[in-house]
Every structure is written in structure tokens, then in C-alpha cells.
Amino acid sequence: MTNTATTSIPRVSSAAQGRLDAEPHLFIGGRRVQALSGRTLEVRDPATGAVIATTACAGAEDAGAAVDSARQAFAPTSPWRTMSPLGRGQILHRLGDLIYQHADALAELEVLDAGKVRGVARAIDVEFAARAFHYFAGWPTKIVGSTVPVSHPDIHVRTEREPVGVVAAIIAWNFPLLLCAWKLAPALAAGCTVVLKPSEETPLTALWLAELALEAGLPPGVLNVIPGTGESAGEALLAHPGIDKITFTGSTAVGKHIAARAADSVKRVTLELGGKSANIVFADADLDQAIAGSAGGIFWHSGQTCSAPSRLFVQRAVAADVVERLTAAAADLTVGHGLDPSVDFGPLVTAAQLSRVRGYVDRAEAAGATVHRVGRLPDPPMGHFHPPTVIGDVTDDMECVREEIFGPVVTVLPFDSLDEVIVRANGGTYGLAAGVWTADINTAHRATSGLRAGTVYVNGWGLTDPAAPFGGFNQSGYGRDLGPDSLDAFLETKSVWTFLN
């Protein structure tokens, strides 16, 4: 049964309101421009369904103009290409500082645009976006080649690391500002230029970030932002011969399409895709800690995170207790508008996403699963809210267990032994994240060694850091965001052979 909670919605700051009131535009060549397509996008608050802003919607011609701008900025004699590594790093650090300077207003935009909760948006989305730029600000001065001891006399061979070129960065709607930083910081540190296509659902902070980058000293044309649909702007970027690399975060289905399209022109590709992460609680775990961490992981941002621990494996001896306590914890959560300080998590991003999540839950119930829909929803009803939901009495082959729901829904599956649960946890098509809760260090080591996932948490869930690589195994993608691994993806290696006289 779902309770209700009254939600009041405070006004936003004048800085955030100014961005909402801006004339529809793209950002190309260091300035705001109108879309050649003549089309616009309505930006809606998912907590109310109301239109909060209008932005330009890029078409193929706009995408071409953005790529041309990025290619000019990548010319060998351009200010960006001739800038010292120290200069690049200083710009990235200033950009991180500017994010901090405007942190509160950026957080408000994330609430209105993506359904975040303001405190979390400020502490996570904005904070870690700034940290990403500060971290990668230290890398340009450390990109080095090597001397190669080849087995030929009178020949000197060295390697050089060069930027891959013009990057198309296509990001999802669930972490608009943070994903911008994850893509842009290593690309710019490497010396690339970028055409960024934010989701048409959540374009506001990306457009502001481009202007902050210009203020930080980034030369015009190095970063271009073109909100638009995948069918228009996205497809144009995939096909454009001026794009050297594509970095994408989003669904596995779209990632497969991007990889296939990129193969035609052998574009470099990095994909961070979906997940159905296994979260394993052993009977000897601190259950208070495990339940709190598991609830936070799956219900945070309404479950709209690719690494959400949506498959909860619980050792049979404590399974019934965990279900009862997890359901009770979910029932205490307040769902509503993220500008209300009493709210724990907000809405799903669109009505279509809400319908999709409801469909998974309803079909699970029809198939015989036990469904607990709990939590306190807004009163009066508004927006795209789904209650936190715990589903029991399921099997590994059920749709709700196999497929990514991308909502505040967790399935609970009992298990008996470590060997059994490792096989079951690895049995899906994804491999983005996994978790282990245990007081036994031997169990922890055996589990982390056996799990096929890009990130494995032990007695915790969900932290990231700019220094730690993030990405997945299997159909969760290839390549990594963050850390030195992500920087390598934006660099080419050139071997230089010098024949000595």
C-alpha cells in the first residue's frame, strides 16, 4: 500500500531562473546560435509535467556546423592545438572552480530538468562534476611518449601520444551535468575538441557548462553543444566523416546501434551502457548496513542509474528478514519534488518511462511474484512518480530479473552457497557493477574474484571517484569513463622512426 505526502515546491534562484528564461539556442563556435533546423524542444519538469524552458533542437545541418567548428578548433595551428599542456590543465581547473561558484543554481537546474533531489544534486552531481575537471586538470602535463629499444642498428624510435581528434560525446538524461564532466574532462585533457549532444530531455546544464568553459578560457569551437534527438542530431554525428571518436552513455540497444554505425568509417568508440547489477548479502553480513546500502543504491534517483543494485541476492537463512526490513525501509521514503527538502527521491524522467516501469511491475505480479509498492507519494498526485517497490517470489528467468527496469524496483532472490550465487550473478547479459556484503574476508575475496563486473563493491555501494575507472563487462559496454583508462581512449600512439647517418 502506498501512502501520500504533501509536497511544497520552493522557487528557484534568479541564476537558475535566468537559464530557464533564455532564448532557445545551441552553442557552436563559442557563442549562442539559433538552430538552422528551426525546431525547438520543450523542457519539462518531470515532477509536475510543466514546461519549464524551451531550447533549440539541432538537425543534421546544425550537427554539421558543430563538427566544422570543432575541426577548425583542432587545426594544427589553432590556439587549442598550440596551447601548452600546462595551459590546458589550468583551463580545466578554472572550469571546475566555476562549477563550484555556480553550484547551487546548477543543482536547481538538475532538479527541474532531471528530477533530482536538490541536496543530492549538489552533493553528488555538481560536486563530482567539479572534481572530474580538477582531477583531469593534472593530466595534460603527464601525457608522455617513450623511447623504444628496437633491434636495428643506427635507428632511433620513439612514441608520441596525440589527441584522437574531434569527439562526439552523446550522453543520457539521468546524470546530465555529471556525464558531461565524465566525457569532457578527459577529452579536453587529451587535447581533443568536442561536439556534445545532451539528451533532449535534459539539455539545460550542458548548455550552461559550455559557457562556463568559455569563461574559463577554452578557445571558441573546442566545445560545441547541440541539444537534439537521436534521430536527427545523433544520427548526423554518427555519419559525419569529421568525427574521429564517439563516446556514449545510454542504453545497450542504442549502444549497439552506435557501434554498428561507427564501424562503417572505423570511428573509435567507447560505450558505457546498461546494467542489471547483482547485490549479494551473505548471512554473516551486518544486515543494518547491508539493508541501508542496498536501499540507498536502488532507490536513489528513483532507480534511474545504470549501476543500480536491482538484483538482490540474499542468503536463504536471512532472506525473509531482509525482505521485511527492506520493505519497511522503503515505506519510510518520501517521494516528491526535489526542491522540497523533506523529499528522499523524485520522479521518473518522463511519462513514457513511468509507463515502462509500471509495465514491468504489473507483469511480474501477473506472473506470480509478490509485489510490495510502498513509500509516500505526493498529495495531490502529480508528475511521473513511482513508489519504491520490492518484488519477491521471483526466479532468475523472469523478465523483471533479467531486464533493466530503470526504476525504483528491486527483485529479491534467495541463494544457498557462494559458488551458486556467483554463477547466478554472472548469468545475465550485463556486467556493470556488483556488490558483496559479508563479515568474512575470505568470502569477500572469493566473490570479488568470481564476479564479472566492471566495479565490485564490498560492504558498500555506489561511490565513484574521478581517479577510479568506471565501465562494464559483457553488454554493459567497452572502454572506461574516469581514471587514466578513460584518458587513453582519447589518445592515439604514433611511432616515430629516425634513421641515423
> Could you report the per-residue pLDDT of 106-161, keeping only the tens digit for each?
999 999 999 999 999 999 999 999 999 999 999 999 999 999 999 999 999 999 99
Level-2 CATH architecture, domain 278-466: 3-Layer(aba) Sandwich (3.40)
Q: Is the pTM of this model over 0.75?
A: yes
Among 344, 335, 394, 405, which Cα is nearest to 369's? 394
CATH class of 14-273+477-496: alpha beta
Query: Which listed residue (110, 200, 201, 272) is catalytic?
Result: 272
Q: Is the pLDDT of residue 501 over 90?
A: no
Q: Is the pLDDT of residue 1 over 70?
A: no
Delimit the CATH 3.40.309.10 region(s) of the chain: 278-466
Told to judge if 272 belongs to the known catalytic residues of this protein, a careful annotator would answer yes
Rounded CA separation 326/175 (Å): 26
> Could you report the per-residue pLDDT of 439-477, keeping only the tens digit for each?
999 999 999 999 999 999 999 999 999 999 999 999 999
Delimit the CATH 3.40.605.10 region(s) of the chain: 14-273+477-496
CB 133 within 8 A of CB 92: yes
List b or e across 31-63, with b for residues whose CB sees 16 or more CB atoms inside 10 angstroms. ebbebbbeeebebbbbbbeeebbbbbbbbbebb
Q: Which of 108-112, 193-197, 341-345 has the lowest mean pLDDT?
A: 341-345
Query: Which listed residue (180, 192, 306, 400) is catalytic?
Result: 306
> Could you report the per-residue pLDDT of 377-389, keeping only the tens digit for each?
887 778 999 999 9
Rounded CA separation 183/493 (Å): 20
Rounded CA separation 415/431 (Å): 20
